[in-house]
Structure 1
Amino acid sequence: MTSREKYWDDIELSEVAVGRDVLLVITGGARHIGAASTAFIQDGKVEVQTSAVPRHKEHLVTEKVALRVAAALGKTVTVVMGIHYDDISKEDIFAVVNQVDIKVEQYLAQQK
């Protein structure tokens, strides 16, 4: 197993319908809440607001995912993410983010 493969099966994306809106929870490794981003449409433009736990970096991904999904679905979308692996390399971080992107693509494909 390469380092890029070791995280693939561990990352999970789950959806909760909240009325017309969507809550996505993305976790992996030692699951926790690291950041939450809510994207919404205002004056025809997708905006985002984010809250992050200090010393966590998930907000860099939650903002991107929330904006992308809200724009694709035309709904308010909140993304909560907590992914943690001990002693992870920069290469592995890129692999984890790539896996999140794959999960989001799969989710969006199921929405059509």
Structure 2
Amino acid sequence: MNDKDRVNQSWEDTILCEVIPLGRDYIIRLSGGAHMHHHHIGAVSTAYYAEPMFVSDLEAHNRSVTNTFLAQDEISISIASDDNDTVGCQGVKGANLTHLYPHICTMTHVVPGHKEAILSEPMAMEAANRLRTTVTVIAGIHYEQLQIHEIDQVVDAAWCIFRKALTQAL
């Protein structure tokens, strides 16, 4: 038996998304679980606009930077930038979202053992693009013993809740 069986609610009923203005910026809290004590911080992503840099400007900077911090056997965060990055963005290694939002950069911190960065980073980028400002997404969703298809349902529900909250904030 998993949490979904116990609560007899839709996923949308157990996921919360709050868009909080902070001056001209925003904080978005995405949390969920069958019980309130399951809400937590699993990943935090900040997306912000960066001024485009011209190739001639890049020569003055060291553009080959990669930092990876290990916690036990997991990568908690990886910030990467390379010579092909003409915008000057940093992001989680492997996320490769900069083609969708070419002037938006991200920084993501992941608590070891958590997977919420798959939500927090693209959500932060989408929100920064739509709100036209800096956005930090704090994500933490936990359910016990979910099957793969249920995880997909939770991810879809989280995106639905996020987009509704973001639309209301506009």
TM-score under structure 1 length normalisation: 0.91
Deviation at 1:14, TM superposition (A): 0.9
Kindly indicate whether residue 134 of structure 2 is the aligned counterpart of residue 76 of structure 1.
Answer: yes
1:1-112 superposed matches below 5 A: 6-29=10-33, 30-43=38-51, 45-112=103-170
Amino acid at match of 1:23: I
Larger Rg: 2
**Identity of counterpart residues, as a percentage?**
34
For 1:95 and 1:70, the matched residues in 2 are separated by: 25
Q: Which residue of 1 aligns with 2:97?
A: none
Which deviates further from its counterpart, 42-51 or 102-111? Answer: 102-111
Which consecutive unaligned segments of at least 5 residues does structure 1 have? Answer: none
SS at match of 1:80: strand
For 2:117 and 2:124, the matched residues in 1 are separated by: 10
Deviation at 1:109, TM superposition (A): 2.2
Which consecutive unaligned segments of at least 5 residues does structure 2 have? Answer: 53-102
Moved over 2 A (4+): none
TM-score under structure 2 length normalisation: 0.61
Residues 46 and 63 (structure 1 numbering): CA distance in 2 closer, same or farther, change over 3 Å? same
Superposed CA RMSD in Å reads: 1.6
For 1:101 and 1:80, the matched residues in 2 are separated by: 14
Amino acid at match of 1:27: S
Deviation at 1:15, TM superposition (A): 1.9
For 2:168 and 2:19, the matched residues in 1 are separated by: 12
